[in-house]
Structures are given as C-alpha cells and as structure tokens.
Amino acid sequence: MLNPEDNDLLCRVGPGAPMGELFRRFWMPAMVPKELPVPDCDPVRLRLLGEDLVAFRDTNGTIGVLEERCPHRRASLFYGLNEGCGLRCVYHGWKFDVDGNCVDMPNERAETDFKHKVRIKSYPAKEWGGYIWVYMGPPDRKPPLPEFEWAMLPAAHRWQKKWLYNANYMQGLEGELDTCHTTFLHRENDTATLSPGLSEAHANWQKDGMPSLDVRVSDYGYYYGSQRKMDDDAYNWRITQWVLPSNSIIPQPIFPISSRAYIPVDDEHTMVFGTSFNPDAPMTKKDTDFLETGLGAAPKTFPGTFIPETNKSNEYMVDRDLQRRGSATGMPGVNNQDRAIVESMGPIVDRENEYLGTSDIAVIAARRILIKLAKDLAAGQEPDLPHNPALFGVRPIDVKTRFPDLDDVVIQYRDKLGP
C-alpha cells in the first residue's frame, strides 16, 4: 500500500510536480514520424506531462515543439500556417521558429515592432530510433539521446506503434513489471494466433502461477528474475528490465523482444510506445502479422487516431461464452486485456487500500525507486542515468535452465542480456 501523499507524488506529472520534474530530465518518445511526415506539413496538437503543445516540421525538416497558445492574445497555434521556417498564428500573423523566437510581427509598424523581445516556450525535439523525442527539462541539463538497443538497430529490425491508455502512467507500467498476472489474465484456450515466442512463453506461464521473484537494483532502474518450476525439474527464468523512468523490456524465448514506454499525457492519460525488435535480423512479414493481427497484437486504433477500437465504451469486446470456454477474460488480445484491467482501476488507482504479496515485490521496488528519485530531485540531487546513454541498452531473457539461483543465470547468459 501507499499513503495518499506518496501516491499523489508518484502519479502527478504536471509542471512543478516532483515526478513531473523527474520525467522532464529524460528524453521521452512523444510522437511517431508519420504525424509530421514532410516539411511544412500540418501542425499537430501534442499534450505531454500536462502541457498543451503544438508540434510542426519546418521548411528545413527541423521539428519544433511549442507551447500551444500564442503569446500575443493566446490563440491556438494549432490553426497556424506552417511555412517559411516557422509557424504563423492566424489571428494577427505573429510567426515563431522551432526555437520559439518570434521572427515576424506583421501587425506592428517598423518603429513599434518588438518581435526581438518575444519568445514562446519551446522544447527540443529529435527524430531517433523510429520516434520523435522531446526533452522538457532545464536546457543546461539536456542529456544525450538514450541508446536503447532497438534505437541503435536498422529500421527494418523493429516494428513500432503508439496507443492511448485512459489511466495514469504508473498503472500501465506496474502491469508490465508484474510477471505473475500473465498466468491468470492471459490464459487462452486457443493460442493459434500467438507468435512462436509468445506461444512458448504462454505454455511456461501456465505451468506455475506462483513464480519466485528476485529484484536487483541497477544504475538504470532494475532487472528482476522470475523463476517458474517446469515439469522436468528445470526452471523457466524470465529476466525483465525496467529502465527509468517508465520503460519496460519484456523477455520472450524467441525474438522479437517487446519494449514499451509509458509516457504521461497528463495525470490521468498515458501514451504507450510499443516497440518489438529482433537484434539479429530484420523483422519478417510473419513477425509483423502476429504483431498486427494475432492475440499478442497491439490494439487496433481508430483511423487517424491513437485511440483503441476495443475500449470501455464496448466493454473491451468481452465475450462471456469465450470466457467460459477457457479464455480468462473473453477479451480479444493480450494488450486489450492489459488495458482493460489497468483502466478498470480508475484514472488514478487508490493504492492505500490494496493488499500486496510476494508476487508484487517488483512493483513495490519500482514505486520506492521513483518516489526516492523524485524526492531527491526536489532536494537538488539530479539523476545520473540520462547522462549515461549506453546504460539504456540492456536486454531481457527468457530461458529454461537447471540453475536455481538468479546470479548463476545472469553469469551463464551474460551475452544474452545486452549488446
């Protein structure tokens, strides 16, 4: 359980909130490139960490992320014209470049022009690893871009998608860090459309619903091992990576690997950036077909949006007959099942009235680490991780072995745990 004060600290991400300030020390994926496909394309609204922004790609292809409201009379720049290396407000013609400088003020005569005195809030943005990233922290603390393994691979080695959760970021992240729920929530009676890796993992989950967990804190967050007993006196070890502040890298016995970032839109909404990647070879059509249409697929979204079609308004398409026949939820797809449960907790879950057990130790550890880092930052101690980009490049594993101890597993499979 968490007391209301710590739960509030953990969940609130707006400007000035301790956790919001911690997130602002990291580069965050915020968009996919197709949202800003070409120079001078239409501007796009962007809400991130409780701030209303507008993003555009200027004539030179440079990405700008600005406060949405024009500093003149506070009209929305979403309706602005993107042309000539700047975004022009349609109300009185003020124009701003990607750095937030006012470069034209056509409603003022030369003798009264004061554009050199006007700046709008702007944030650095970079296209990297298949996403558009934004940094919202102090300019003098801007770190290098994080070197996740998937971001360093050729584009053909990864598959990526973005979708919305109607819940606080931590609820989605906690689901990612909870290996025990897979035995129960994701039990399926028909696994024909699971990928080979997810199918093997599913078979292992069903053999032991009481895994033993061992958490090891690291400079980048932590990794933890879950040990399940198999029928042949061996163990299934899944080593999951949590990379600060809200990135999970989930193991599968067979490539591709799954990675997700839970990025707060605001306190009660989260954008999920899902990446599946194969470090050894390009993704095949079979790989992407499983990711787009199989039971393990990312949610299908309404055209032109990132809103899943399977949602609360249609009760996540629950099929009670299918549930009675052996599907734990009767809901279509692993990701929809996760989102249904996360959103069912409410926008910000009441953690004061929960009862936690030994299967929750990874969730508990993540909460404690995030709360401590946010408090440390509020006291003036900056986080180190953003300035060590290579530390982001860790990898999970899912193996069968006779080693009963996590340390022995790590030693034996060290070459599989990271590039």
Per-residue pLDDT tens over the stretch 226-276: 999 998 889 999 999 999 999 999 999 999 999 999 999 999 999 999 999
Measure the CA–CA gap between 31 and 108, rounded to whole angstroms. Answer: 35
Q: What integer pLDDT is reported at residue 195 of this predicted model? A: 86
Q: What integer pLDDT is reported at residue 157 of this predicted model? A: 98
Question: Mean pLDDT, to the nearest integer, of 91-99?
Answer: 97
Q: Residue with structure tokens 């129960």?
A: 184
* DSSP 8-class letter at 36: S
Q: What integer pLDDT is reported at residue 194 of this predicted model? A: 83
133/189: higher pLDDT? 133
Strand partners, 257: 277
Which is nearest to 366 in space by CA: 240, 180, 209, 228? 240
Q: Give the number of other CB atoms < 10 A from CB of residue 159.
A: 22
Q: Residue with structure tokens 């290396």?
A: 85
231, 14 Cβ separation under 8 angstroms: no
Measure the CA–CA gap between 46 and 322, rounded to whole angstroms. Answer: 39
Which is nearest to 20 in space by CA: 264, 243, 221, 260? 264
Q: Quick check: helix, strand or coil at residue 217?
A: strand
Which is nearest to 173 in space by CA: 48, 257, 254, 271? 271
172, 147 Cβ separation under 8 angstroms: no
Q: In the predicted model, is pLDDT for residue 306 greater than 90?
A: yes
Q: pTM score, two decimals?
A: 0.95
Q: What percent of the chain has pLDDT over 90?
A: 89
Q: In the predicted model, is pLDDT for residue 419 greater than 70?
A: no
Residue-wise pLDDT for 150-187, tens only, equals 999 999 999 999 999 999 999 999 999 999 999 999 99
Query: Domains in the chain, ordered, with CATH?
Result: 28-134 (2.102.10.10), 149-416 (3.90.380.10)
Q: Quick check: helix, strand or coil at residue 260?
A: strand
Q: In the predicted model, is pLDDT for residue 208 greater than 90?
A: no
Residue-wise pLDDT for 316-367, tens only, equals 999 999 999 999 999 999 999 999 999 999 999 999 999 999 999 999 999 9
Q: Give the number of other CB atoms < 10 A from CB of residue 58.
A: 20
Q: In the predicted model, is pLDDT for residue 72 greater than 70?
A: yes
Q: What integer pLDDT is reported at residue 11 of this predicted model? A: 98
Going by pLDDT thresholds of 50, 70 and 90, the confidence category of residue 297 is confident
Going by pLDDT thresholds of 50, 70 and 90, the confidence category of residue 198 is confident
Phi-psi category of 221—alpha, beta or left, where left has phi over 0 and alpha has psi -120 to 50? left
Q: Which residues of 63-81 are buried (b: 16+ CB within 10 A; e: fewer)?
A: bbbbbbbbbbeebbbbebb
Q: What integer pLDDT is reported at residue 189 of this predicted model? A: 75
381, 26 Cβ separation under 8 angstroms: no
DSSP 309-352: SSSGGGGGG--HHHHHTT-SS--SSHHHHHHHHHHHT-SS--GG
65, 78 Cβ separation under 8 angstroms: no
267, 50 Cβ separation under 8 angstroms: yes
Q: What integer pLDDT is reported at residue 361 of this predicted model? A: 97
The alpha carbon dihedral of 57, 35, 13, 129 has a sign of negative
56 burial level (CB within 10 Å; 0-12, 13-18, 19+): buried
369, 221 Cβ separation under 8 angstroms: yes
Q: In the predicted model, is pLDDT for residue 381 greater than 90?
A: yes
Q: Half-sphere exposure (CA, 13 Å, Cβ side) for 303?
A: 0
